[in-house]
């Protein structure tokens, strides 16, 4: 398999910049070449407006802050996924993709003028506090939240471990806002967990895609096969409430289950933004049937994996329609420790379908269910209805294969 060496980030983790961050950016080349020339009339207008603000605004202003705000505003309406990041935000991004940061552990998006939770990270303070996908953050410590100033809201949510942030939450089907106190902590992003559900049937949970997810999936599959006596009879791959992550990690995970075939392709304006990634030989599950669990919190990189496995005939999707983020962002350093996160491609599943703002429909639709965390009391298959349905489907799939193998050959 070959793919670009540039880091392509489809999402961020925790209380940092969300998968659908509504902010702006300035179109600058990350390679420092060929900057766009501002038309003379526009340059004159910008200079005049900044001069008026500098001289006549009721409070003193800082020219550098004004320019940064202008840069952010330039792309505020491009799409909700592009962003200009100052040095602190860029450092937050770097830390997030490495798997540890201080916060409460949620992924958010700006949607229809509101800040909406895509998913809490497994085991995070937000998950323990009961924050759910689809919740709307209305206020932080009593101060209202503006979707156009998402970085400011994120900064207010983050803080020192052990301190408490009070969130006002709007929830569908709940008439009054909910007040939720969440104690901040160092969120260690362990993206892969596993266990045996029953003899020969493994469970693999990926909560987000970071730089370590691919190797961790390989290690987990080898351990599951060892526990199964050398061969898995089926696998439940749980991508529910997985908000996405690093594109390369999604490709690596998809490749772990495929012998051949396209994983994902992308189209954009630049040569580097157009690519096609294919699987190489080596199915780590050795053809064992796979049931992939998805829901409305499955976004971006998790949708790439789900689409790749289904379109290649490797798995069935069970659950609810996914979030629908079908674009790729490239992070471009632009000097002074700052960076531009710009949407550069739209990606397509192997069948050529775009899931952007549409999502993936499951093969087997399931009613809304609460997820059960690994490590709770009792067996996961008994506590989680989706997992129970997936195990039942795998049993039926195995029965069909056994019957087909036992049928006489009339050729």
Is 300 considered catalytic here?
yes
Confidence (pLDDT) at 202: 97
pLDDT under 70: residue ranges of the chain? 1-36, 95-100, 147-148, 189, 373-377, 398-411
Q: Which residues pair with 292 in a beta bridge?
A: 237, 317
Structure tokens of 155?
């900064």
Are residue 263 and residue 298 in the same domain, yes or no? Answer: yes
301-311 and 247-256 helices, crossing angle to 10°? 30
Helix, strand or coil, per DSSP, at residue 201: strand
What CATH number does residue 178 fall under? 2.30.42.10
Total residue length of the chain: 411
Task: Please tell me the distance from the alpha carbon of residue 108 to that of residue 319, in angstroms, as a whole number.
Answer: 21
DSSP assignment letter at 312: T
**Distance between the two ends of the chain, CA-based, in angstroms?**
38
Contact 159, 104 (CB under 8 A): no
Residue 298 near residue 321, CB atoms below 8 Å? no
Is 225 among the residues known to form the active site?
A: no
List alpha helices for 187-334, DSSP H.
213-227, 247-256, 301-311
Using one digit for the tens of pLDDT, what is the confidence trace for 296-334? 999 999 999 999 999 999 999 999 999 999 998 888 898
* Cβ atoms of 187 and 125 closer than 8 Å: yes
Q: Residues 326-357, buried b or exposed e (16+ Cβ, 10 A)?
A: bbbbbbbebeeebbbbbbbbbbbbbeeeebee
What's the Cα-to-Cα distance from 163 to each of 101, 102, 130, 131, 185, rounded to whole Å? 14, 11, 18, 18, 8
* Whether residue 167 is found in the same domain as residue 238: no
Sign of CA dihedral 119, 125, 128, 130: negative
CA atoms within 13 A on the CB side of 151: 19
Q: Catalytic residue, from 311, 316, 327, 386: name it.
A: 311
State the catalytic residue, choosing from 255, 325, 327, 384: 325
Separation between Cα atoms, residue 206 and residue 216, nearest integer Å: 10
Supply the pLDDT for residue 7. Answer: 31
40 token code pair:
């003379």
Annotated catalytic residue within 124, 191, 300, 345: 300
Q: Which domain holds residue 174?
A: 104-188
**Of the candidates 161, 188, 215, which is a domain's last residue?**
188
Q: Structure pTM?
A: 0.70
265 catalytic per annotation: no
- Look at residues 160, 188, 216 and tell me which one is the last residue of a structural domain: 188
Per the DSSP assignment, residues forming a β-bridge with 274 are none
> 256 and 319 in one domain?
yes
Judgement on whether residues 349 and 252 belong to the same structural domain of the protein = yes
- Give pLDDT, residue 93: 75
The answer to whether residues 134 and 247 belong to one domain is: no
Say whether both 206 and 349 belong to one domain. Answer: yes
Query: What count of other Cβ atoms lies within 10 Å of the Cβ of residue 213?
Result: 24
User: Is residue 226 located within the same domain as residue 359?
Assistant: yes
Q: State how many domains the chain has.
A: 2
Residues 121 and 260 in one domain: no
Considering the domain architecture, whether residues 150 and 170 belong to the same structural domain is answered as yes
The CA-based diameter of the chain, rounded to the nearest angstrom, is 91
- Angle between the N-to-C axes of helices 247-256 and 213-227, in degrees from 0 to 180, rounded to the nearest 10: 20
* Same-domain status, 201 and 184: no
Distance CA 151, CA 146 (A): 10
Domain match, 114 and 234 both = no
The reply to whether 45 falls in a domain is no
Exposed, middle or buried: residue 99 (CB in 10 Å: 0-12, 13-18, 19+)?
Answer: middle
21, part of any domain: no
Distance CA 36, CA 134 (A): 39
Q: Which of 173, 188, 203 is the last residue of a domain?
A: 188
Q: Are 197 and 218 contained in the same domain?
A: yes
Specify the DSSP class assigned to residue 333.
E
Residue 24 in domain: no
């Amino acid at each position: 398999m070959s793919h670009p060496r540039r880091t392509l980030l489809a999402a961020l983790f925790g209380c940092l910049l969300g998968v659908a961050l509504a902010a702006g950016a300035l179109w600058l080349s990350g390679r420092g070449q060929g900057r766009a020339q501002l038309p003379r009339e526009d340059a004159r207008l910008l200079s005049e407006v900044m001069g008026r603000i500098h001289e006549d605004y009721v409070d003193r202003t800082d020219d550098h802050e004004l320019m940064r705000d202008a840069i952010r505003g330039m792309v505020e309406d491009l799409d909700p996924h592009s962003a200009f990041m100052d040095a602190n935000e860029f450092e937050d991004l770097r830390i997030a993709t490495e798997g540890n940061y201080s916060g409460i552990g949620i992924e958010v998006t700006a949607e229809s003028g509101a800040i909406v939770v895509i998913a809490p990270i497994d085991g995070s303070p937000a998950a323990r506090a009961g924050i759910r996908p689809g919740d709307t953050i209305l206020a932080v410590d009593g101060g209202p939240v503006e979707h156009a100033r998402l970085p400011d809201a994120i900064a207010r949510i983050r803080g020192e471990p052990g301190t408490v942030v009070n969130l006002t939450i709007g929830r569908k089907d709940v008439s009054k806002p909910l007040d939720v106190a969440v104690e901040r902590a160092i969120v260690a992003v362990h993206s892969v967990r596993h266990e045996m559900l029953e003899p020969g049937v493994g469970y693999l949970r990926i909560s987000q895609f970071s730089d370590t997810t691919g190797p961790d999936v390989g290690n987990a599959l080898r351990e599951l096969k060892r526990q199964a006596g050398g061969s898995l009879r089926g696998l439940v791959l749980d991508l529910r409430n997985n908000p996405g992550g690093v594109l390369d990690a999604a490709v690596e995970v998809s490749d772990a289950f495929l012998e051949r075939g396209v994983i994902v392709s992308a189209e954009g304006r630049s040569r580097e933004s157009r690519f096609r990634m294919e699987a190489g030989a080596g199915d780590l599950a050795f053809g064992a049937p796979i049931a992939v669990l998805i829901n409305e919190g499955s976004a971006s990189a998790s949708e790439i994996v789900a689409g790749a496995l289904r379109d290649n005939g490797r798995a069935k999707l069970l659950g609810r329609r996914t979030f629908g983020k079908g674009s790729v962002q490239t992070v471009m350093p632009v000097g002074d420790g700052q960076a531009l996160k710009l949407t550069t491609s739209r990606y397509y599943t192997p069948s050529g379908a775009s899931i952007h703002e549409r999502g993936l429909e499951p093969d087997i639709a399931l009613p809304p269910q609460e997820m059960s965390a690994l490590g709770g009391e009792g067996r996961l298959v008994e506590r989680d209805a989706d997992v129970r349905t997936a195990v039942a489907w795998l049993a039926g799939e195995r029965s069909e294969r056994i019957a087909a193998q036992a049928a006489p050959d009339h050729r």
